Amino acid sequence: MSDNKDMMPLWEVFVRSKNGLSHTHAGSVHATDAEMALQNARDIYTRRAEGVSIWVVPSAEITASDPSSKGEMFEPSGTKIYRHPTFYDIPEEVGHM
Amino acid sequence: MYTQALNDPSSKIATVEEGEEKLNDYFMERISADEKIEPNDWMPASYRKTLIRQISQHAHSEVIGMLPEGNWITRAPTLRRKATLLAKVQDEGGHGLYLYAAAETLGISREEMQQQLLDGKARYSSIFNYPTLTWADIGSIGWLVDGAAIMNQIPLCRCSFGPYARAMVRVCKEESFHQRQGYEILLALCKGSAEQKAMAQESLDRWWWPSIMMFGPHDANSTHSDQSMAWKIKRISNDDLRQKFIDATVPQAHHLGLEIPDPDLKFNEKTGHWDFGKIDWDEFKRVLAGNGPCNRERMEARTKAHNDGDWVRKAALAHAAKQAARKSTRKAA
Ligand SMILES: [Fe+2]
Ligand SMILES: [Fe+2]
C-alpha cells in the first residue's frame, strides 16, 4: 500500500513524556526521511510540552504479532496463575509481604 | 497510528474457514462487550467502509476548517490574539493528521483520501462553507463551531474502533482551549463599545443556525445512524447531541448579553431543556450539495495549496532517495 514511490513513507512515533518514563507510542507521521519524520513528529505530537525525547521508526520495519493467533501466543501465560503473588497463602499475622 | 503494512488484506486471515457469519457474530459479541476493535482484527467490510468514510471526512473537515480562520491571522487585533489564532489553526492541521493516520490503519492511503477530497468525492463539514466576514466571526467559530465539535467528539472517544477513539482523546484535550479563546473574544467585544457589541450580535445571528445544523439531520431522517449506533461508532444520537449543545450554549449567550436568533427558543420547565424553533433543512441541503456561500472558494484554496506544494513533496522524495543511494554506495565501498 505504501510501496508507491510517489508516497511518503509512514513512520511510527514514540514519545518519552519525561525522564524516568519509557517512550510510548503516540501515533504516526509521513516523512521522506528520518530527519523529516522527527521534525514532523515534534510538530504534531509535542505542541504542548508532551515530550522530552522522540523516537521515529519506519512503520514497515515493525514486526507485530498476529492478532488471529492471540490465543496460542498469550494463553500459556494466562493459565500460569502461580506466577502471581496472590496465588500463595500467607497467614495474616505474618503481616505484609 | 499503527503499521499499515500489516493491513494488507491479501496476507493471512487465519480464520477464513470459520465463515463470514460466524466471524460477524464474534465481532458483534466483542462490540457488545465494549471491546475495542484494532486495525488488524477481523471486521465486517461495511464497518471498515463506514469508518473510512467517517474518519476521512472528519479529517477533511479539520483541514478545510483552517481556511475560514486562517483568513484572519494577519488581521488579528492584537499580538496575543494573533498568537492564539495561529496556535489554534495549527492544532486543526494536527487534528487532520491524527485522523488521516487513524483512517490509514484501515487500509486506505492518505494520498487517496486527499484525492477524494480534491475530486469532490468526499465531503467535509458544511459549516466551513460559511464566510468569516468580521473579527467577531473568529469568536463565534471558537465558541459555537468548536463547541459543537467538542459535543460531537467527546462520545467518539468511546468509539469502538481503537485508533479513532485514541485520536479523539488527543483532539478533545486540545479543543477546550479553542472554545475558550473564542468565547473570550466575544466577551471582550460585548464589554466594548456599542459597535463592538453589535458586531458580536451580528456574528451570532449568522453562525447560530449553521452551528445547530452541525449535528446533522433529525434522528428520524438520519440514514447511517442506526447501524453506526449498533457498531458503537456513534454513541449519542444527532438530536440528543444537538439538545445538549443548545442547553449548554444558551446560558453562555445570556452571559454575553447576546440574543440567540430564534424567536421560539424558550426554557421548558417540564423537560428541563431549551425548546427551539424549526431548522431550515433546505439551507443545510443546499450547502451540502455544494451551493453554500464559500464551497467553491474553499475547494479552490485547497486545490491550489495542494498543487503549489507538489514540487516540495517531489523534491523531498528526490532528496531522500539521493541520500539513501549515497549511504548504500558508501556502505558498499
Ligand atoms: Fe479540531
Ligand atoms: Fe478546534
Which domain, by its residues, includes A57? 4-94
Q: What is the CA radius of gyration of chain B?
A: 22
Say whether pLDDT at B4 is over 90.
no
Q: Looking at the complex, does the CB of residue B312 fall below 8 Å from at least one CB of chain A? A: no
Residue of A nearest to B6 (CA): A64
3-state DSSP percent of chain B in helix, strand and coil, to 5: 70, 0, 30
- In the reported structure, the alpha carbon of residue B66 is separated from the centroid of ligand 2 by a whole-number distance in angstroms of 9
Overall residue count recorded for chain A in this entry: 97
Instruction: With beta carbons less than 8 A apart as the criterion, state whether B7 and B40 touch.
Output: yes
Nearest to B319 among A7, A32, A64 (CB): A32
Say whether pLDDT at B266 is over 90.
yes
Across the interface, whether the CB atoms of B98 and A66 are under 8 A apart is answered no
**C-alpha cell, B279:** 431548522
Across the interface, whether the CB atoms of A62 and B91 are under 8 A apart is answered no
**C-alpha cell, B47:** 464497518
Amino acid at B189: L
CB-side neighbour CA atoms (13 Å) of B256: 28
In angstroms, the Cα distances linking B57 to A63, A66, B102, B103 are 30, 30, 12, 10
Per-residue model confidence as pLDDT tens digits over B179-218: 999 999 999 999 999 999 999 999 999 999 999 999 999 9
Nearest to B14 among A29, A59, A68 (CB): A68
> Whole-number mean pLDDT of chain B?
92
Across the interface, whether the CB atoms of B94 and A44 are under 8 A apart is answered yes
Q: Please give the tally of structural domains in chain A.
A: 1
Instruction: With beta carbons less than 8 A apart as the criterion, state whether B128 and B292 touch.
Output: no
Say whether pLDDT at A91 is over 80.
yes
Instruction: With beta carbons less than 8 A apart as the criterion, state whether B185 and B138 touch.
Output: yes
Across the interface, whether the CB atoms of A68 and B12 are under 8 A apart is answered yes
What integer pLDDT is reported at residue A69 of this predicted model? 77
Specify the CATH number for the domain of residue A49: 3.10.20.520
Nearest to B4 among A29, A33, A59 (CB): A59
Residues 173 through 232 of chain B touching chain A, CB cutoff 8 Å: 174
Alpha helices in B65-220 (DSSP H): 66-70, 79-104, 110-118, 136-140, 146-156, 162-190, 194-213
Instruction: With beta carbons less than 8 A apart as the criterion, state whether A41 and A32 touch.
Output: no
Per-residue model confidence as pLDDT tens digits over B41-82: 999 999 999 999 999 999 999 999 999 999 999 999 999 999
Instruction: With beta carbons less than 8 A apart as the criterion, state whether A13 and A41 touch.
Output: yes
